[in-house]
Amino acid sequence: MTLNDVRTIYFIGIGGIGMSALARYFRHLGAEVHGYDRTETDLTRTLVAEGMHIHYEEDVDRIPARVDLAVWTPAVPAHHRELVWLRQRGYPLMKRAEVLGLISRGKRCIAIAGTHGKTTTSSLTTWLLRNGGVEATAFLGGIAVNFHSNFVLGRSEWVVVEADEYDRSFLHLEPEITVINSLDPDHLDIYGSPEAVVETYKQFAGQIKPGGTLFYKHGLPLEDVAQALRQSGRHAFAFGLEAGDIRATNLRIDEGYTLFDAETSHSTYSALRLPMPGRHNVENALAAWAAAQTAGGAEADMCRSLPNFQGVKRRFEFILRQPNIIYVDDYAHHPAEIRATIQAARMFFPQKKITGIFQPHLYSRTRDFAQDFAAALDELDACFLLPIYPAREQPIEGVSANSIFEHMKCSDKHLVNKEELVRQVSERMPEVVITMGAGDIDALVPILAQQLNILSAKN
């Protein structure tokens, strides 16, 4: 059986951002799509409106009588009732990463990897390609605003995918073009050590197809694998700010755009206009530009389309932009991401005080990086810290949001629950508010936005 033969497919965890992109792909192929998820969300409601069948309780009676393929994500526990039932009865079962690997293997694949920046870079790569004359398919890790989706269907031979390091999923990919944006330690519950993270990324980079290309951020410990790729007839280029083979220079802010020049040894593109703040986003844009150009994107058309990139939901997303109150929502859930988000806000709003609201994601990540989280959050003028969102994990004794709070030096810091949060923030007159986290903090966004809007109107 090939994937094209799948007529009925079942997803355990269909509401996940990666799983839902695959579900949309199979729906476009004409398959009947069924699935389970733990909670109903805006995304699952959209999937239902697109013709998929979803339920929200572990109920084997809701699984169709005939299932050609069942797909699951490692975020689902091994004891999940439906997963156990399917396994015991010998249904064809594949991990999400395996399915994505099979889909991409039949195409020319651009894989975007890194601890941070994957979704913005992959969405921007797709935007530049499609405006540059290459109608790429894309599986994205967020809802790209320009496409209103995390799945983009194209008719060319190119596919853009996010190469997820969790559970070593990206080792199922064999790309033609690879981007590696960052190598900060994460998922140490899987890898065990920062060194193991780096070694696995090197293994992934080594899977680039003959004649393919690696683009990696300048300064990452990848020079040995880059040299090996060059010696094998493949290509490797470093990108960075004022450094590397592909360089962003002359950064400045102009009327809400970040302007920069992109330079290589043989060409310069002047005054590229990126409608997003932050040095990290300039690096993301540089990598996306290089990947799209290598895949055949027309440079003049890419130049024209870059200012029209609208970003990704929950990636420095402006929720409210009034003269007296700015509200930004961001997915940041790692210390390096938090620091980058705060620095981006300071770049755009250098004279304003920044209030951050952070929901830690996972007990293990909080345990492993408590002091790093504290140091990143200390860059705020004021901080509200919510309880940990556990996701797939059980509590770890002695680990809580207080593990971060007690290390913080910020004088204006507060441990709060969700019920207290909106009231406490609304009692202030904040200038810039940022909500950050990968859990269910997004459910608070419309409530907080409404209160801040009322506050803005009164002042």
Six-digit token pair at 247?
């360089």
Of residues 301 and 188, the one with the higher pLDDT is: 301
- Name the 3-class secondary structure at 341: helix
pLDDT of residue 1: 63
* Residues facing residue 10 across a β-bridge: 34, 70
Q: Over the range 344-369, which residues count as b (16 or more CB within 10 Å of their CB) and which as e? A: bbbebeeebebbbbbbbbbbbbbbbb
pLDDT at 215 over 80: yes
Q: How many other CB atoms are there within 10 angstroms of residue 139's CB atom?
A: 24
CA distance 245 to 219: 12
**End-to-end distance of the chain based on CA atoms, in angstroms?**
64
Six-digit token pair at 388?
């940990």
Share of residues in the chain with pLDDT > 90 (%):
75
pLDDT of residue 293: 95
Q: How many other CB atoms are there within 10 angstroms of residue 389's CB atom?
A: 18
pLDDT at 392 over 80: no
Residue pLDDT, tens place only, 59-118: 999 999 899 999 998 888 889 999 999 999 999 999 999 999 999 988 999 999 998 889
CA distance 422 to 413: 15
- For 282-286, 312-316, 351-355, which range has the lowest pLDDT when averaged over its residues? 312-316
CA distance 313 to 329: 8
pLDDT confidence band for 400 (50 / 70 / 90): very high
Helix (H) or strand (E) segment spanning residue 434: strand 432-436
Mean pLDDT over 434-441 rounds to 94
pLDDT confidence band for 305 (50 / 70 / 90): very high
- This prediction has a pTM of 0.84
Mean pLDDT, rounded, of the chain:
92
Do 239 and 233 touch, CB atoms closer than 8 A? no
- Name the 3-class secondary structure at 279: helix
pLDDT at 189 over 80: no
pLDDT of residue 347: 86
- Burial of residue 390 (CB within 10 Å: 0-12, 13-18, 19+) is middle
Helix (H) or strand (E) segment spanning residue 254: strand 246-254
Domains belonging to the chain, first-starting first, are 3-95 (3.40.50.720), 107-308 (3.40.1190.10), 317-458 (3.90.190.20)
pLDDT at 187 over 70: no
Mean pLDDT over 433-446 rounds to 93
- For 185-199, 239-253, 404-418, 422-436, which range has the lowest pLDDT when averaged over its residues? 185-199
pLDDT of residue 449: 93
Share of residues in the chain with pLDDT > 70 (%):
99
- For 31-40, 56-65, 388-397, which range has the lowest pLDDT when averaged over its residues? 388-397
Mean pLDDT over 238-256 rounds to 92
Mean pLDDT over 289-313 rounds to 94
